[in-house]
């Protein structure tokens, strides 16, 4: 009967140790940034810049076969 009681106490100690570790980790993590909360990139401006460069490249490519007079 004591073996079963010791096993239950050991399991309870493991559970409380895991809960304590999780709580301590959560307390240390308070105030830190979450992965998705970083600086946002100006995607609209980047997209316009890439689009302008692509358009310029297309114009240069189309005009490269024209003979200069």
pLDDT score at 67 = 63
pTM of the predicted protein model: 0.39
pLDDT in tens, 23-40: 998 888 887 777 666 666
Q: Grade residue 66 by pLDDT with cuts at 50, 70 and 90.
A: low
From the CB of residue 61, how many other CB atoms can be counted at a distance below 10 Å?
9
DSSP labels for the chain? -HHHHHHHHHHHHHHHHHHHHHHHHHHHHTTSPPGGGSPPP-HHHHHHHHHHHHHHHHHHHHHTTSPP-
């Amino acid at each position: 009967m004591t073996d079963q009681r010791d096993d239950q106490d050991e399991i309870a100690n493991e559970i409380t140790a895991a809960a304590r570790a999780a709580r301590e980790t959560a307390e240390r993590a308070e105030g830190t940034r979450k992965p998705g909360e970083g600086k946002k990139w100006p995607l609209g401006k980047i997209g316009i810049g890439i689009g302008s460069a692509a358009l310029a490249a297309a114009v240069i490519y189309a005009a490269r076969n024209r003979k200069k007079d």
